[in-house]
Amino acid sequence: MQDQASSGKFKGFLRIRGIVFAVAVVVAVGQAEVMRILRWGPVWLLPALYVLMLVLSVVFYDPEHRNPNRAGRALAKVFMFLMIAINVLNLSLLVRGVFTASLHIGAIDLVGAGAALWVVTWLTFAFAFWEIDGGGPEARLTKRVDFPDLMFPQQQTDQKFRVAPPGWRPDFGDYLYVSLTNAIAVSPTDTMPMTPLAKLLMGIESFICYVIFGVLVATAVGIATGGVANTLTR
């Protein structure tokens, strides 16, 4: 009986959080690869820590969705901020590697680390927006959202022409799009942050991606000028 209950809880978890479960695994692998390139910490540490957090999130999950579980919500937010903190740390090491050359890392490896960090940042903040909006996915599922953290065009009540059916709710793909446009434009586009936390997260993502763009440009210029210099000395 207990095994059946555990199985039902896990199935309920995957039904609501299955896509994000997969995204968290991809983020863990991506951050581990950036760690390997930048040469800090044991590479296995982050994947192991993330697996532990995901297992705990299943343990604290409420399969009936009647109320967002407080322990589960707290754990999800810790997980979210941990992912963001690791991204910021990786960014600082990336900048150090480009502008001080103290890590003895090749330019091509730095470009690869920057590109991987950008993708990881995009996925991390998609997860963060999905997690905070309207109290979390369970709260949105049970229609207890009075004041959303992110205002999608489909949720605007003063629109002259309806662009979505009544009761429309965003899914994870919508948060992927919001994070992608914020990462590219380094500013909100069609979806506006409405709460201080949403504005903070968008600001952090924009800052990280802006610095990554600068790092990639600086590295590319260094590679190009180095190639020109080698050609002239021949």
CA 178, chain centre distance (Å): 11
| Cβ–Cβ under 8 Å, residues 61 and 69 | yes
Residue-averaged pLDDT of the chain: 78
pLDDT band for position 164 (50/70/90)? low
Over residues 8-54, the pLDDT tens digits come to 556 656 677 778 778 888 888 888 888 888 877 777 777 788 878 77
Which has the higher per-residue pLDDT, 6 or 145?
A: 145
Task: Tell me what pLDDT residue 181 has.
Answer: 93
pLDDT digits (tens, 9 = 90+) for 109-156: 888 888 899 999 999 999 999 988 888 877 777 765 667 888 888 777
CA distances from 222 to 33, 62, 98, 99, 218 (A): 23, 52, 9, 10, 6
Position 4 pLDDT exceeds 60: no
**What is the chain's Cα-based Rg?**
20
Are 172 and 141 spatial neighbours (Cβ–Cβ below 8 Å)?
Answer: no
Total Cβ atoms within 10 A of residue 120: 24
Q: Average pLDDT, stretch 160-183?
A: 82
Between 59 and 24, name the one with better pLDDT: 24
Instruction: Look at residue 211 and tell me whether its pLDDT is greater than 80.
Output: yes
Does 223 have pLDDT greater than 50? yes
Question: Out of 68-72, 128-132, 152-156, 161-165, which region has the weakest mean confidence (pLDDT)?
Answer: 161-165
Question: What digits encode the pLDDT tens for the residues 99-108?
Answer: 776 556 777 8
pTM of the model: 0.82
Extended beta strands in 156-231, E state:
192-193
What's the pLDDT score for residue 19?
80
What is the structure's pLDDT at 216? 82
